[in-house]
A and B are shown apart, each in its own frame.
Chain A
């Protein structure tokens, strides 16, 4: 076949797609029919498609799914806030509310993201539960030694509390001053002091590490204490009356703070946190 014409792979591939017309197409067809080499290339082009089609579709990692669901929850919060009748005013409680990689940008123009802490906190808890209905409760990290959010949420509901988290989810923007109902049993938790120096860029990882520690409510070396009524009110307000997986008295950016977590969300609040004024510093999806 020396001296014969041979189309290159691109020409053959375009011909296979019907992109070659007229005389040139007829010439290619005649050539391929009589040239073993080009017939082989033609087969190989089909094999490329077969190889691509047979590559297994990658499943979305749970971490990505959690992150995007949290981002959508945050977006829903922003939408709710922008629709609220009262004009939100500026606070410093926006840091970290968008659960993104540290190097990432905020999801978008953030002019409407300034939220009052209480509104943000209660809406965050509400959204957490609300999205949990379709997502979070069935997609929890199993590494936590604490009860899962499913059991936490179930426990809260089973405790006969009338302040079901779902009730708060109906109108989160109006519950800005939600106090734990007096008839609601107080969920019990202990306060650890892990000594962790939490940082904005690693907050989620650090919280996950704390959640993964075994026996953190038992024989952990850190000091533990029963929470004050003020702290209990703050914590339960943030979590929507769900027992927290972690309440850690530590530092955030070098300043004393409480880090409060349920299995798929964490908050950082000031040490003066109360139910009516959570002093929210940051929050992040886990």
Chain B
């Protein structure tokens, strides 16, 4: 393990696994387990579902390793399998869609009851509408709902696809191009899901920011973190 013996690359570990090295895949899993766990947990919003999804994903990757063609990084491939398993698990889970009247206390009560982390809480945006709205300036969205949700609870308010995109781009910091490969959608779709997700989370998370560190000016080019 000295510096003169480099750690085998992910691709090398996968190759060894396919060649019959029984320890190689375990090493690969160990190397990336925390990131993969974060993806599964943040996407499913439930530790039991995350564990099930991650286990399914790892077994699937274990079996399908020989089909890996190397046209993406091994980590991208692993993330894709984990995200798909997580989304599949959400689809198979009984729908627990709940509508929200807009009352913050009702929302907190609803979230407290939904301890298993329902993915489909249908919470309408505090201010419905799209595009340019006429009329008086709306109340500051960060103040319009006094609910103080932490990040994990707020993520549960999003549709699963938006949540997966935001988890990968904003929480884990992956480039938009890589997330597009993970999610098998276009970069524009990734950006759109992120934008809608951020807008939806704004009333719940904007207050969590620290000092004002962002520039007030708007530049389209600065939006994406790719």
* Residues of chain A having any CB pair with chain B under 8 Å: 1-20, 25, 27-29, 32-33, 35, 37, 39-55, 57-61, 64-65, 67-69, 71-73, 75-76, 80, 100-101, 104, 107-108, 127, 130-131, 133-135, 169
Contact = CB atoms under 8 A, between A and B. Distances in A.
A18 B191 CA distance: 8
Contacts of A39: 216-218
Contacts of B172: 57
Contacts of B225: 49
A67 B51 contact: yes
B191 A71 contact: no
Contact of B131 (A11, A69, A71, A100): A11
A107 B216 contact: no
A76 B22 contact: yes
B198 A42 contact: no
A159 to B, nearest CB: 24
Contacts of B47: 61, 64
Contact of A15 (B29, B134, B220): B220
Interface string B29-53: 1100111111001000001101110
13 contacts: A3-B134, A14-B192, A15-B220, A17-B224, A28-B218, A41-B141, A49-B170, A50-B210, A57-B171, A68-B55, A72-B25, A72-B26, A101-B51
Contacts, number: 230
B195 A10 contact: yes
Pairs of residues from A and B, 10 with the lowest C-beta to C-beta distance, nearest first: A47-B209, A16-B223, A44-B206, A46-B214, A13-B195, A9-B199, A60-B37, A51-B208, A52-B170, A17-B191
A251 to B, nearest CB: 29
Mostly, the A contact residues are: helix
Contacts of A32: 217-218
The majority secondary structure among interface residues of chain B is helix
B23 A6 contact: no
B58 interface: yes
Contacts of B201: 48, 52
Contacts of B10: none
B22 A130 contact: yes
A49 B173 CA distance: 10
Interface-centre pick from A13, A27, A29, A67 (highest chain B CB count, 10 A): A13
Contact of B224 (A18, A47, A130): A18
B102 interface: no
B178 interface: no
Contact of B59 (A6, A33, A46, A72): A72
Given A4-B137, A7-B132, A9-B199, A134 B209 contact: no
A133 B212 CA distance: 49
Give the bracket for the number of chain B residues in contact with chain A: 35 or more
A71 B41 contact: no
Nearest to B56: A107
Residue from B125, B150, B195 with most neighbouring chain A CB atoms (10 Å): B195
Contacts of B210: 50, 54
Contacts of A48: 170, 198, 201-202, 205-206
Given A16-B218, A17-B223, A41 B135 contact: no
Given A10-B196, A127-B22, 15 more contacts: A9-B141, A33-B218, A37-B140, A41-B140, A42-B218, A46-B209, A49-B170, A50-B210, A52-B170, A52-B201, A55-B151, A55-B171, A61-B47, A100-B55, A135-B26
A3 B54 CA distance: 52
